[in-house]
Structure 1
Amino acid sequence: MSQIRSLFATRLYHARLSEHGPAVDTSELETSCWSIAEDDEAGQEWCDENNYPGYTSYASLTDLPWRFPIFADLVAAIDKHVAAFAEDLEFDLGDKTLVVEDIWINLLPEGGTHSSHIHPHSVISGTTYVSMPDGASALKLEDPRLGFMMAAPARRKGCREELKTFVYEAPAVGDVLLWESWLRHEVPPNTSEDERISVSFNYKWE
């Protein structure tokens, strides 16, 4: 009897941030994001110099959990999700663990986009969502085999999710998404008139 199996799975973790413990107050988190963005002159200058749409603290602030207790609470919540995802991935971590390497704010205005990229040197990356107004961009995930498909025909419209070349994941406020850091992803243009606010992070193995 013929047999067809799916091999080399790419896993995506999607959950409510509060699933593993007390909820993080997203309204307080949003207020903190705006406050940091308004005060972070180095981050504003970096965004201007690099034509970065909106604001990110990625290149300027490395100590958000120390500056604002709400970010320490956020990391404590994310730690549990990362542990659950690592268990699903059946990682053999030995005597090491996965710990947060960096965490940063993203404020994406109307028309703003984050181009396709990966997160080198990290194990698990992800984002939690603070403000997702109507029209805010979904996360676009790319099949990691895309560059090797060469002469393969396009997939039929409506093909199974596991066979799609791109998958669009639409999170809600208070959701967390996790993926392995080698997975290429992007944020398409924000079609909302209001800012799409998220907090992204990387976890390393040490």
Structure 2
Amino acid sequence: MSDIESLFVTRLYRAALSEHGPAINPDELESSCYGIADDDEAGQQWCEDNGYPGYTSYASLTDLGWRSPVFADLITSLDLHVAAFAKALELDLGDGKLELEDLWINILPEGGMHSSHIHPHSAISGTTYVAMPDGASALKLEDPRSARMMAAPPRLKTAGRDAQTFVYAAPKVGDVLLWESWLRHEVPMNMSEDDRISVSFNYKWS
């Protein structure tokens, strides 16, 4: 009898932010995102210079946990989520640990998008969702084997989610998604008239 195993599984972690750590008021988090964006002239300039739609603090701010108590609470929560994911991945961290490396705000207006990319210098990456209006884009994840498939035929449209080349993860406000940083992902165009707001982050092994 033939036997087919599923090897080299790619895992996506999804949970409510509130599942771990202090309670976080989503309205306070959203207000803090806008307040920081309004004050961050360097970030606004970077977005303008680089043709980035909307706003990101990625290239300008490294101290969100100091700037706002709600971000300090968010970091406490994310530390616990990442620890839970690392356990599920059965990672052998040895004498090291996973610690927050970067944390940044993303505000994508109507028509805004973030092209396909990876986070090559990190171990675990993720996003928590602050505002997801109707029409806001889901996170698009790509099979990491795509570059090696060469002459492989396409998958059936009816293929199971675990066999698809691209998978869309549609989060809700208050969700946190985590994945290993080598996983290619993108944010397709925001088709909503309202802002899509998220906070993304990287954890490194040190």
TM-score normalised per structure 2: 0.99
1:18 Cα offset (Å):
0.6
Aligned to 1:75: 75
Q: Secondary structure at the match of 2:87?
A: helix
Q: Percent identity?
A: 73
Counterpart amino acid of residue 5 in structure 2: R
Counterpart amino acid of residue 102 in structure 2: D
In 2, Cα distance between the equivalents of 1:3 and 1:108? 46
In 2, Cα distance between the equivalents of 1:8 and 1:95? 25
Q: 2:55, 2:106 within 8 Å by CA — same for their partners in 1?
A: yes
Q: Secondary structure at the match of 2:134?
A: coil
Q: Once superposed, what is the RMSD of the aligned Cα atoms?
A: 0.6
In 2, Cα distance between the equivalents of 1:189 and 1:152? 28
Aligned to 1:182: 182
Aligned to 1:56: 56
In 2, Cα distance between the equivalents of 1:97 and 1:147? 31
In 2, Cα distance between the equivalents of 1:71 and 1:18? 14
Note the residue ranges of structure 1 that are not aligned, 5 or more in a row: none
Aligned to 1:31: 31
Aligned to 2:14: 14
Q: Does the C-alpha gap of structure 1 residues 49 and 81 become closer, same or farther in structure 2, counting only changes over 3 Å?
A: same
TM-score normalised per structure 1: 0.99
In 2, Cα distance between the equivalents of 1:97 and 1:4? 35
Aligned to 2:165: 165
1:94 Cα offset (Å):
1.0
Note the residue ranges of structure 2 that are not aligned, 5 or more in a row: none
Counterpart amino acid of residue 201 in structure 1: F
In 2, Cα distance between the equivalents of 1:65 and 1:127? 16
Q: 2:113, 2:190 within 8 Å by CA — same for their partners in 1?
A: yes
Structure 1 segments, 4+ long, off by >3 Å, are none
1:57 Cα offset (Å):
0.2
Aligned to 1:201: 201
1:22 Cα offset (Å):
3.1
Counterpart amino acid of residue 88 in structure 2: D
Aligned to 1:90: 90
1:184 Cα offset (Å):
0.3
In 1, Cα distance between the equivalents of 2:178 and 2:4? 28
1:23 Cα offset (Å):
2.3
